[in-house]
Structures are given as C-alpha cells and as structure tokens.
Amino acid sequence: MSALDVSFNEVGMPAERPLLEIRDLAITFKTSGGEVQAVRNSHLTIMPGETVAIVGESGSGKSTTALAAIGLLPGNGWISGGQILLDGEDISHASEKRMIELRGNTIGMVPQDPMSNLNPVWKIGYQVKETLRANGRPSAPEDIAKVLAEAGLPDAHRRAKQYPHEFSGGMRQRALIAIGLSCQPRLLIADEPTSALDVTVQRQILDHLEGMTSELGTAVLLITHDLGLAAERADKVVVMYRGQVVEAGPSLELLENPQHPYTQRLVASAPSLASRRIQVAKDLGLKSDELLAPTEALVEPSMTENVLQIQDLTKVFKLRSGLGRSTDFTAVDNVSFSVKRGTTTAIVGESGSGKSTVAQMVLNLLPPTSGKIIFDGVDTSTLNSKQIFAFRRRVQPIFQDPYGSLDPMYNIYRTIEEPLRTHKVGNKVSREKKVRELLDQVALPQSTMQRYPNELSGGQRQRVAIARALALDPEVIICDEAVSALDVLVQAQVLNLLADLQSNLGLTYLFITHDLAVVRQIADHVCVMEKGKLVETGSTDEVFDSPQQDYTKALLNAIPGAKLMLPPEVA
Amino acid sequence: MKSNRQMEHYVAPLEDTPLLATDALKEDQAPLSLWQDAWRQLRKRPLFIVAALLITLIVIVALFPGLFTQTAPDNNCQLADSQGGPRAGHPLGFTFQGCDVYARVIYGTRASVMVGVFSVICVLIIGVTLGALAGFFGGWVDVIIARLGDIFFALPIVLGALVVTQLPFFRDNKSVWTVIIVILLLGWPSMARITRAAVIEVRGADFITAARSLGVSNIQTLIRHVLPNALAPIIVLATMELGVFIVLEATLSFLGIGLPGSIMSWGNDIAAAQQQIRTNPSVLFYPAAALTLTVLSFIMLGDALRDALDPKSRQR
C-alpha cells in the first residue's frame, strides 16, 4: 500500500500532489443481518486531470467507494477506517457543511440512471440554475444555456425551458453531465454514466465527456462493469473484487499482463474484449478459438433446413390519442428472415427497434398484423388451440430480467416441473428425475430444488430459467436479452452454457440483444433492426467484416474497446 | 489524453481476497419461502405478538363464553338489580333491565366476531373474484366490474344499509346473515379494487409470460401464478376490514337496523345503554371498550402483516 505513495516521489515529481487519494478505506454497513464490511483495504490515487476507472462486478464495492469520496454514503453505511485525502485534506470524517462546500465546486457527480435523476417537476434550466446558485456562480439564462450547450445539447436556450420528460435518455444524460460539470469541478465521479443508454448514444456521450473533461482539465473517476470500456477511456484501471482492490495499474498494461487471477478472469471473459480479440485475430489472419457458437459444419447436413421462416412480418399497434381516435404505430415493418436448424441467429437493435415485438410474435403470444411466421413448414397463425399447445412444447423463451422471470412463490422444483406437469409428461417420479437431470445440465446442485428464487443470484436464476425452457425438449429457444442484466463473468458462464447445450442438444437459438459484442461470440447469423425495419442481414463474419449500412457501422463502432490495439494472444 | 506519468502496477496478495467460484450457490442457509420469511419477521415484532394474543383470547371468548362467566346473560335478569353497581360475582354491575354487564359483554363477543369473520370471508370471495377477473382480463370485463364497484362505492355506507335493510325481505328476516349480506353488498368494492391493482401489477411480470408460453391456460395462470403473488395486500386489507366490519355491525345495531334485539351483541348493548349514559356510564363503557379492543387488535395485526409482507422490505 505504502508503495503507491512513494512511487511518485521516485519518479521525481514531488511537487505534484494527488488530487484524490484513498488509503486503506474500509466502509461498513449496518444491515438486518448485523454489520457487513462492504469495502476493505481500498486504495486508489487520482492525479489532477487523470481518468481512473474502477471496474468490478455488482456488489464489489466500486460505487460505495466513489460515494464515500463525495460523502454520500447511504444512511446505514459509514467509513470505518482509512483516509480519503482530497488535495491533501482528509475528508473521510469531514463535517456535512464542509462536504456541501466541496460538492459541485470541487467534486462533481454524474449519476447512473438518467431517467430517475432529474426532478420531473422542474425545468432542466432550473435544475442547472440550482447547481450554479448553490455554488455561488452566475446563473443568468445565458450562463445556463452556455453550460447546456457545452454538454452538447443543441438549441440550449429552448431546451433549458423544457421538462425532463421532453428529453430522450441520451439528452437527459447530457443534461446531467452539464449539471455535474457546471461548476468546473476538479474531480468528476461518473457512476456507470451510460449503462442505461443505447449503445450508439453511449459512445457519443462518453466521447463528449472525454472531450469536455480534458478541455477543463478535470480528473474523472469512472465506475463501470465493462473492462473494455474502462481500458479504452481511462489512463489507469482499478479492479475491485469482493470489497477489495485486487489490482491497479495503467490500463493497457493491465489488459496485456493481468496478474491477479480475478483480473485474468475478467480479461478473458469481458465480451467487448473477446469480440475485439476475435476481430484482431481475423485481421492478422489467425484463427481464434473464441467463437463459442458451433459453426454450421458441426451440424448434420440433413438438418440444415429452415426451422423458422419469417415472411413480411408487420405489427401495427394502435396508440390511443383522445376519445375514439387512435394513431397507428408500426413497431415491426415488413421483416423477413429465416433461421436454420441448429444455428444461432441474433436480432440486434436498440430500444424501440421492434426486436422484442418480433420475439413475442414468434412465440405466438402476440398476433402479427400481417405477414407469416412459418415454423417447421407450418404457418403458426393457422394453428388451433390444441396445435398451439403442442407448438409451445417446441418453442421456449428465456427472458431478460432474472428477477422477474421466476415466480417468487414457487420453489425451484415446482418452477422447473411446471412445464412437465402442464403438458402431462410422465408421472411424479419421472418428473422429479427429469428436474434433477435438468439442474445437472445447467450446472446447479440438485439441492437447489428446495430453494426459492429470492435465494439465488441473477445468473443462477437465469440458469433455472434455462432449465425450465429445456424441460420439454424444445427445438427453438428465444433468448430475449437473456444475458444483458448479468455481470460479465456470469454472462460468459451463461453464454458458455448456452453454447454447450446447443452442441449437445442441437438447439436453435433466436437471440435478441442490443449488445453486438455478445453477438460476435455466439451468433452464426445477424439481423440488424432499426425503427422496426430490418436494415441488414448476413452471417456474423460478413456483418462484422464488411457492414453495409451506416447504422450497422455505428453499432459496431459503439462496442467499447474498438480503439484498443489488443494483441490477439492477450489472456 | 494519456498522461506520461509513471503508474505503479499494484497487485493485491491472493490470500487477501481468495478467488471464489463464479456465481457459486450459497448453500449455508436453509431454504426459505416468502411465507416462512414473513413469519420469521413477524414473530419478532411486539405489535404482532400483542395483536395475536388478543385475537386468540377474543376467539376463545367467542367460542366458549361459558369458560369466562357462570352467570347466564339474559334469563334471570332481576329488575331489582336495575343499574346496580358491581358486587361479588358481578364485577361490572348491572344494566337497566338488571342483567349482568360482564356476562353480556362476554356473550356479545360471539355475534360481533361472527359478523366480522363471515363478512370478511364473503367479501373476500366476491371481491377477490371480481377484482382478479377485472385486473387479469382488462377490457370490457374491467369496465363493467369497475363501474359496478364505483356505484356501490359512492353510496354512504350507513345510508346504503338503511335502504337495504328496509327492503321487505331484510325487514322480515333480521338475523346475523342479513347483516352479513348488507356488509358484503357495501364492502366488496374496496376489496375488488385492491385485488385488481395487485393483479395488474403481477400480470405484467415475465414469469406470467413464461407460464403462457409454456401453454398454461389463462385461468390456471391466474389461479396458480397471479393470485398467490397478489395475496399480500389482500390479506392486509382483509385483516383490517375484519375490525371495520365489526364496528359497522355495531353501528347498524346501534341504529336499530342491524342485529335483532334478541341477539346479544355489543352494538345492541351500546344502543340499549344510550338512555342511561348520564346515570350509569359503565353500562355503555364496557361493551364499547370490548369493541374498541377487538377492532384495535385486528388493525394492529393488519399493520404488522403489511410490514412483513411488503416486497420492498424483503431482501435477497
């Protein structure tokens, strides 16, 4: 630990003092189960103007550390040891009055969720003005407009008079960045500033943030779960695991030469890095073994027929606009593609692109307005209720939210057994045997059967959801953002599981996602959707190597780490 | 903006934070369902313990009044004892008719609790069914049920009860059951509303879509998945309404449109006591105290249940 302080003296720059230095920080929370130490032995140093990223999975203590630096720990948490030095001043036990002086002026903050961090009843301009005034800065309309314009909001005078609900997610995040930087703080804490935004917007926002902070000379403490993003944006990366800093160092060096086993794991499984490695390997003409999906060569030739054909699929929703009137909203517009048996087809798009609506229609949960879905040679809209019941056995979904997709009242045994019971498969004994087999398949201990969903982590719940989907031996599985809510390591684990199951059981996946990095790892074919329309389809290699549409190019550029020049043998 | 400052590459010793298997299952705790978890929280709460003890006592009194008093409450009232004070064997004194106040309070419990319990059961059956159908199916089913509920909701409850009890059928057949029917008629909309809201909230969950894509029928989904998850607010409301309905019975009896005078109940006793409120206030006080205590215990129980079943207070 002390080695960190000394190093700067050795370099011969004793005059330069760290802007923020965290030493041996320990943070304790009081919970119903007693006191829990959320952060231990945490230390990091930020020099003026430097960008430092904290990387870690959820619950690793990365946000808690940052909140402690700005004195905003939740009421049941407190700093139980160590020091937080801001420009030499220990603020770990500073008075609330002193912290209020520092906030805004010296330390700014950009929160994670742009949807809930602006007060919906005040105009954007007022919320900027509030910050300026609290820090004793000029707050005339011109100043407000200037602050907003600097954050990249066009037509700032008019925008300042609008309410948050009139802003899109990206614009709200720009407004929050404007507020965070309005008083030109020396340190900006950005807590996952873009994880709630669409990928292309994410990139714009991060570019803009980077430009602004380097212009102002602001140091940035960036908190993220994505190692690729951290390495791309920060000078230095700090890896946290189970409340401790396990590794810290210059970002590129950390990627090329990770020392701690946890960092090694992270480097090996971050999807953005993995997809980048595949790309670099291809560019160099090397073969990468990281393509998880079985290529078509592995599938028996007799089975390569199209299991699913989507023809001219259109879905129009009627939006109510006043009494008796309605306007049409075309969520899915004339989409056609086909899915070969035993392969993985990914539908990629941002929120509002209609990709989930396609999934709902393929699952026969939503009737299409026009067009056909042909499953195994039969148009699914012509099925009667008995045939639909049989169809359900063959096509199963896995959903995004691991916290919402399992009934909290059902224990795991009942959850996985439900499809068998519903379809009257076997008797009690054989069903229990099947549930045990399924738990083995998704690598959960059989003792999980008696547990309830609230006792499981997100990744474990997702594995239970996979087991439930597999119970009826389906042919097609629709994964609607099935791994998007999971931490990278868990994500990699679930993706591996899905790939194994595919090669063992010959499953066909329709994979709905916004994350092209994940697509690179698992998909054979890609369909890119924008605003309800299919803009590009092709094999994964074609789409990644020579994207035809600007939109696809923008999506590809948005994968974090695209700028990193990684040697393929990293990890 | 890469700086040219030297940076230390720090690695924590592995012993400090040993690496755990990715996403391993915590197997140290016994499995716990939502209800078991709520029970564990409840049994530590003084509010719940006091309420539960009181309710147990009230139920025992209602079922076996003979355990608590040897005095028959109405057969051998002696006018000589009219408005008499407490004396040995008659701790609370006598009514205007010379009946033992203590015995009447004890024996009155049964009618009051019976009206409360059966009204709540009936309201649960009707209110939950209609509310669940309205919430789950939406559309015109929802519109009809919601408007129907609003009509009953808009009626002032006492006025509504007055009108209903004057209908010939109710006037001629005054009994515990007519009171229950009146309460049911006026009480189901609030239960239906709560159920409808809870069902709508659960209906959108992914596990409902998952059940539908397994081929589980609509009714089965409603019964097996939606209702069990919507149960918490329903239970809380039912507990509180039990108290409210007991008061309602007393109010109706007090106004002379509730239980017939031949049935002993706190409401009837309070009504009979109103003439002597100046001369002998204890006649009014004891049945009123019994009523208040009963209602209070049910409302306290509801409060404790609301905290224990609140999904927001529930942690992983």
Q: Answer yes or no: do A259 and A313 share one domain.
A: no
A47, A248, A457 ranked by CB distance to B5: nearest: A47
- Judged by phi (left if over 0) then psi (alpha if -120 to 50, else beta), residue A195 lies in alpha
Closest CA to B146 of B165, B124, B131, B168: B131
pLDDT confidence of residue A570: 44
pLDDT confidence of residue A225: 85
- Asked if the structure places residue A534 within a domain, the reply is yes
B9:A259 CB<8 A: yes
Chain A interface disruption, residue of B37, B44, B213, most A CBs within 10 A: B213
In chain A, how many domains are there? 3
User: Which tokens is A91 given?
Assistant: 């603020």
B12, B16, B206 ranked by CB distance to A405: nearest: B206
- Taking the C-alpha atoms of residue A351 and residue A538, their distance in angstroms, rounded to an integer, is 21
pLDDT confidence of residue A11: 45
CB B93 within 8 A of CB B111: no
Q: Answer yes or no: do A310 and A393 share one domain.
A: yes
B1:A241 CB<8 A: no
B31:A459 CB<8 A: no
B229:A490 CB<8 A: no
Q: Which of A78-92, A422-436, B7-21, B232-246 has the lowest mean pLDDT?
A: B7-21
User: Which tokens is A549 given?
Assistant: 């549409």
- Asked if the structure places residue A521 within a domain, the reply is yes
Q: Answer yes or no: do A224 and A319 share one domain.
A: no
User: Minimal Cα–Cα distance from B191 to chain A, Å?
Assistant: 22
- Asked if the structure places residue A276 within a domain, the reply is no
Contact list, B5 vs chain A (CB under 8 Å): 8, 11, 13, 16, 47, 50, 235
Q: Is A293 helix (H, G, I), strand (E, B) or coil?
A: coil
Contact list, A448 vs chain B (CB under 8 Å): 25
Contact list, B6 vs chain A (CB under 8 Å): 7-8, 10-11
CATH architecture of B33-78+90-309: Orthogonal Bundle (1.10)
Q: Answer yes or no: do A365 and A225 share one domain.
A: no
- ipTM value, please give it: 0.77
- Asked if the structure places residue A569 within a domain, the reply is no
**Size (chain A), residues:** 571
A397:B7 CB<8 A: no
Q: Answer yes or no: do A488 and A384 share one domain.
A: yes
Question: Taking the CA of residue A269 as centre, how many other CA atoms within 13 Å lie in the half-sphere pointing to its CB?
Answer: 21
pLDDT confidence of residue B54: 93
A447:B20 CB<8 A: no
pLDDT in tens, A167-221: 888 888 888 988 988 888 999 999 888 877 777 788 888 888 888 888 888 999 9
B10:A454 CB<8 A: no
Q: Answer yes or no: do A74 and A158 share one domain.
A: no
Q: Answer yes or no: do A202 and A322 share one domain.
A: no
A452:B29 CB<8 A: no
pLDDT confidence of residue B18: 75
pLDDT confidence of residue B4: 53
Question: Taking the CA of residue A517 as centre, how many other CA atoms within 13 Å lie in the half-sphere pointing to its CB?
Answer: 25
Give A198-238 as a 3 state SS string: CHHHHHHHHHHHHHHHHHHCCEEEEEECCHHHHHHHCCEEE
Contact list, A254 vs chain B (CB under 8 Å): 9
Of A145, A166, A184, which one is at a domain's C-terminal end? A184
Q: Answer yes or no: do A202 and A310 share one domain.
A: no
Q: Which of A271-280, A411-420, B102-111 has the lowest mean pLDDT?
A: A271-280
- Asked if the structure places residue A11 within a domain, the reply is no
What is the 8-class DSSP label of residue A2? H
Of A206, A239, A270, which one is at a domain's C-terminal end? A270
pLDDT confidence of residue B34: 74
pLDDT confidence of residue B208: 92
Contact list, A16 vs chain B (CB under 8 Å): 5
Contact list, A393 vs chain B (CB under 8 Å): 215
In this prediction, residue A508 has a pLDDT band, given cuts at 50, 70 and 90, of very high
Give A34-38's long-range contacts (Cβ < 8 A, gap of 24+): A37/A80, A37/A243, A38/A64, A38/A77, A38/A243
Q: Answer yes or no: do A94 and A129 share one domain.
A: no
Q: Answer yes or no: do A506 and A518 share one domain.
A: yes
pLDDT of residue A10 exceeding 60, the answer is: no
Q: Answer yes or no: do A369 and A481 share one domain.
A: yes
DSSP A315-368: EEEEEE-STT-EEEEEEEEEEEEEEETT-EEEEE--TTSSHHHHHHHHTTSS--
pLDDT confidence of residue A416: 93
B25:A445 CB<8 A: yes
pLDDT confidence of residue A476: 93
Q: Which of A120-124, A422-426, A482-486, B74-78 has the lowest mean pLDDT?
A: B74-78
End-to-end CA distance of chain B: 42
Phi, psi (degrees; rounded to nearest 5) at B295: -60, -45
Is the model more confident about A21 or about B102? A21
A210, A259, A451 ranked by CB distance to B31: nearest: A451
- Asked if the structure places residue A452 within a domain, the reply is no
Sign of CA dihedral A523, A525, A526, A527: negative
pLDDT of residue A295 exceeding 60, the answer is: no
pLDDT in tens, A128-171: 998 898 888 888 889 899 888 888 888 888 888 889 888 888 88
pLDDT confidence of residue B312: 55
Closest residue in chain A to residue B10, using alpha carbons only: A248
What is the 8-class DSSP label of residue B100? B
pLDDT in tens, A321-354: 666 777 888 889 999 999 998 899 999 988 878 8
In this prediction, residue A464 has a pLDDT band, given cuts at 50, 70 and 90, of very high
B214:A419 CB<8 A: yes
- Asked if the structure places residue A417 within a domain, the reply is no
Q: Answer yes or no: do A99 and A191 share one domain.
A: yes
User: Minimal Cα–Cα distance from B230 to chain A, Å?
Assistant: 10
* Domain ranges, residue A90: 17-106+186-270
Share of chain A above pLDDT 70, in %: 90
pTM, whole model, 2 decimals?
Answer: 0.81
pLDDT confidence of residue A282: 66
Distances (CA, A) of A561 to A55, A174, A252, A514, B311: 14, 22, 11, 16, 39
Check which CATH number belongs to the domain holding A261 and give it. Answer: 3.40.50.300
pLDDT confidence of residue A290: 53
Q: What is the pLDDT along chain B (316 residues), one digit of tens a residue?
A: 444 566 777 887 777 777 777 777 776 667 777 778 788 888 888 889 999 999 999 999 988 888 887 777 666 677 776 766 777 677 777 777 777 788 888 888 888 888 999 999 999 999 999 999 999 998 899 999 999 998 888 888 888 888 888 888 888 888 888 889 989 988 899 999 999 999 999 988 889 988 988 888 999 999 999 998 888 889 889 988 888 898 888 888 888 888 887 888 888 888 888 877 777 777 888 888 988 999 899 988 888 888 787 665 544 3
Contact list, B39 vs chain A (CB under 8 Å): none
B32:A455 CB<8 A: yes
Chain B interface disruption, residue of A21, A405, A407, most B CBs within 10 A: A407
- Asked if the structure places residue A448 within a domain, the reply is no
Chain B interface disruption, residue of A216, A406, A409, most B CBs within 10 A: A409
B213:A407 CB<8 A: no
Closest residue in chain A to residue B225, using alpha carbons only: A407
pLDDT in tens, A39-57: 988 888 999 989 999 998 8
> Where do we find the tokens 């259109």?
A314
Chain B interface disruption, residue of A246, A396, A497, most B CBs within 10 A: A246
User: Minimal Cα–Cα distance from A81 to chain B, Å?
Assistant: 17
Contact list, A15 vs chain B (CB under 8 Å): none
